[in-house]
Structure 1
Amino acid sequence: MVCAAQLRDSLGDTAGALDDLEKAIVMTEVRRNALPFLGWLRHGTPIGTILLRLSGHVASPWLDTVVQAAAGSTDIVHHYSARTPPPDPAPGDPGHQALTPRERDVLAELARGATYADIAAAHFIAESTVKTHVSSLYAKLGVSRRSEALATARRERLI
């Protein structure tokens, strides 16, 4: 329910998001389980933002406790998301331009054989945006095909 609230809020359904979050507060209050409120989504509204909004509408000691715990901390997904370190360029070699986090996400999806439509759906972006990221990837890696990009990425330990 918490993840649904994050997504609904990011899509503009604030009332639905608050309703989902209020249900989650009620369901977790008995066992005092704050785990669902750690922020498991990368593409939704940060959970702390929605919790603060809900605290203005609902009076609950458990909600106050969760809001205080979430204050000032980032969502857990940011601590555990996959990160690919940039390659170390050889001495005298300027190396490739650093890939953006989204380009690294797209590269990982390409490596697992995903289509542009699959990548777009998985990352909540338009297919044309995926194509833009792939073009940028190809330019940064100095390649012109997916197979070359994957071979270069493996050689340089990007994937």
Structure 2
Amino acid sequence: MTIRVALVDDQALVRSGFAMVLSVEQDVQVTGQAADGAAAVELVRRTPTDVVLMDVQMPGTDGIEATRQIVAEDLARVVILTTFDREDYLFAALEAGASGFLLKNADPDDLVGAIRAVAGGHALLAPEMTVKVISRLVSPGTGQAPSPNGMPAWPAVPEPVEPLTARERDVLVLVAEGMSNAEIAAELFVGESTVKTHVSHVLAKIGARDRVQAVVYAHRAGLVRPPTD
């Protein structure tokens, strides 16, 4: 299967660099480019797209608002590209429904791996990045997030539509700690297929679209302790 990718960044040089990296991958095709969020939304509306690599800070419609629109219309999955210097933007991107984050100085293999993971329905959860950001943005013990730059805080954590079993709770905690299905299987001494089933049940019960949202939920619910430096 060919993964159709849209590149969104206000710097043409950045887009060209990513396009060059992806051009050598047989299963990845760059189907379009855009220089701002509004153009990105229009691009994926008219061009079938699987994954959007989305810059955050752009003139006009920024990457956060564009992500919100793309996810709301179920047009594609979005990976945020960031320099990691604006945690408030990352917080907003999670709320908008981004499926992952990637540093702009990431290795080419990491970029391609992120695209394949997100296209396959997974989320990009690099422990040193996503979990750290979420942990900093969730107030310990309250399940509430602060309001950076005047942004409204998230509402209270909703109860699962069905109670989580003890094993599902364990799986959710390990997902929130950044573990892959294989790592969770090894930790719990079960098969990887069993872990996949537990993860699916957890996502359905807590109303999460993917693993990124599950991580957010776990941190907001106080199930995971923020890491200490």
Specify which structure has the higher proportion of helix: 1
Q: Into which bin does the TM-score normalised by the smaller protein fall?
A: 0.3 to 0.5
Whose RCO is larger (CA < 8 A, sep 6+)? Answer: 1
Specify which structure has the higher proportion of strand: 2
- TM-score w.r.t. length of structure 1: 0.39
- Choose 1 or 2 for highest CA Rg: 1
